[in-house]
Amino acid sequence: MADLLIKNIGALVSAKGSKALKGAEMANIDILHDCAAAVKDGKIVFIGSESAAPTCTEVLDAKGLLVTPGLVDAHTHLVFGGWRQHEFELKLKGAAYLDILKAGGGILSTVEKTRAATENELFEKAKKISLQMAAHGTTTIEAKSGYGLNIEDELKQLSVVKRLQADMPLDFVSTFMGAHAVPGEYKGRSEDYIDFVCNELLPVVASKKLADYCDIFCETGVFDAALSEKLLLKAREYGFGLKIHADEINPVGGSELAGRLGVHTAEHLIAATDEGIDLMADSGVIACLLPATSFYLDKPFARARYMMDKNMAVAVASDFNPGSSPNFNLQFAMNLACIRYKMTPKEALSAVTINAAAAIGMAGKVGTIEIGKKADIVIWNAPDLDYLFYRYGNNQVMHTIKGGAVLR
Ligand code: IZC
Ligand code: ZN
């Protein structure tokens, strides 16, 4: 006897396997019509015709609609205090993202609010947001620190992610991003700050096992490629998986460094060079692209098709954060992936499921609907995959199922 039967599925659309799909493989998506799926102990145990399905204690009718894997948001800055609406009008009048940061605003204004918040306040806020993300189809969430920028407040942020994982039905993957900005105490001394991160912050985070990945903001006026290399090499020694915010705004050697070091993922890549893309393709770096940020900063869109032509695996994520992407709805990023990256719906689905899962080391457990994987499933108010991607601006989720539990 199984626990949950999802019957009357019109189209079950999913990639296969536990590895990122590269380039042309991203279109390798199977569509199974008129079928059912069964769940036991949180995992998928059956996919096939309804007549052959095991008896289940609970039945959910998919009403002939589209079913996909639960969405994986592989890049968020989920845990933060305050918001940044006071910078919105400045931005509209032409203030640049990096100029706002340079003037002590931007990330640093969120650092101030995050330091001032208690762990409980941050937890309650992030929990509420995570539930809304689940209502929009997201079942696995990567969350970065980087609004503490000292030992106490980085640990506070990372502890929140640990509590979310323990408390909520969703999966969270934690990334340490102590090198997100140079805090006021180190103004003009980015080298000293990186030494502090390497020698004091990183070892504590490692010993407390509070993060799987280490990320750094490699950007003009933040951390250059040499400092980024220094931290990432140190993080590798401590066993962290490596991520880098590379060439988000300016081409400062981030993508070249990502390729040279063979990091796990490189994020943004809006201004990545041909050489950087070649190096990343050679070393199997996953590109984690964030189209909602290009939209919100009114910047160019990363060259996703070019990267796919070079046989890179491309993931797409929300970049949810209070500054450059105050929107956690991955469906919007999916629309943009089609319209601005020119991905097909199948490729874009791979980008937010199997490839996003691979980007955060979760592809063995989630990212596809296959026997043995977690039962992370979305039933959409859409008859087929094209419909899901062609509509936009409204939440199209009918049901979100995480580990077999119906959350919405
Ligand atoms: O809070 O502005 N790009 N980090 C690097 C961000 C955006 C988040 C923020
Ligand atoms: Zn980011």
Q: Is 109 in the pocket of ligand 1 (CB under 6 A)?
A: no
State the amino acid at position 6 in one-letter form: I
* 104-154 confidence digits (pLDDT tens): 999 999 999 999 999 999 999 999 999 999 999 999 999 999 999 999 999
What span, in angstroms and rounded, lies between the C-alpha atoms of 41 and 26? 30
Question: DSSP assignment, residue 59?
Answer: E
Q: Is 321 in the pocket of ligand 1 (CB under 6 A)?
A: yes
- State the pLDDT at residue 18: 98
Residues 6+ apart with CB under 8 A from 118: none
Tokens of 59: 């039945």
Q: How confident is the model at residue 408 (pLDDT cuts 50, 70, 90)?
A: confident
Q: How confident is the model at residue 234 (pLDDT cuts 50, 70, 90)?
A: very high
Is 364:355 a contact under the CB 8 Å cutoff?
no
Question: Longest C-alpha distance within the chain, in Å?
Answer: 68
Q: Which residue has the tokens 């003037």?
A: 103
Span 219-232, mean pLDDT?
Answer: 98
Is 235:263 a contact under the CB 8 Å cutoff?
no
* 311-337 confidence digits (pLDDT tens): 999 999 999 999 999 999 999 999 999
CATH architecture of 2-69+368-406: Roll (2.30)
* 55-85 confidence digits (pLDDT tens): 999 999 999 999 999 999 999 999 999 999 9
Q: Is 324 in the pocket of ligand 1 (CB under 6 A)?
A: yes
Q: Is 245 in the pocket of ligand 1 (CB under 6 A)?
A: yes
Residues 6+ apart with CB under 8 A from 155: 148, 204, 205, 208, 210
* Ligand approaching nearest to the C-alpha of 265: 2
What span, in angstroms and rounded, lies between the C-alpha atoms of 340 and 362? 27
Residue 404 has pLDDT above 90, yes or no: yes
Best CATH choice for the domain 72-359 from the list 3.40.190.10, 3.40.50.10420, 3.40.50.300, 3.20.20.140:
3.20.20.140
CATH 3.20.20.140 domain extents, the chain: 72-359
Ligand 1 center–CA 10 separation, angstroms:
40
Is 34:10 a contact under the CB 8 Å cutoff?
yes
**How many other C-beta atoms can be found within 10 angstroms of the C-beta atom of residue 238?**
15
- State the pLDDT at residue 359: 99
Q: Is 106 in the pocket of ligand 1 (CB under 6 A)?
A: yes
Ligand 1, atom 5: closest residue by C-alpha? 217
CATH 2.30.40.10 domain extents, the chain: 2-69+368-406
- State the pLDDT at residue 189: 97
Ligand 1: nearest atom to the Cα of 323: 2
Is 212:174 a contact under the CB 8 Å cutoff?
yes
Output the CA–CA distances (angstroms, integers) from residue 325 to 69, 345, 355, 402, in the order listed.
24, 22, 21, 25
What span, in angstroms and rounded, lies between the C-alpha atoms of 376 and 110? 32
For the chain, the average pLDDT equals: 98
Rounded to a whole number of angstroms, the distance between the first and last alpha carbons of the chain is 24
β partners of residue 13: 31
What span, in angstroms and rounded, lies between the C-alpha atoms of 180 and 324? 14
State the amino acid at position 55 in one-letter form: T
What span, in angstroms and rounded, lies between the C-alpha atoms of 148 and 107? 10
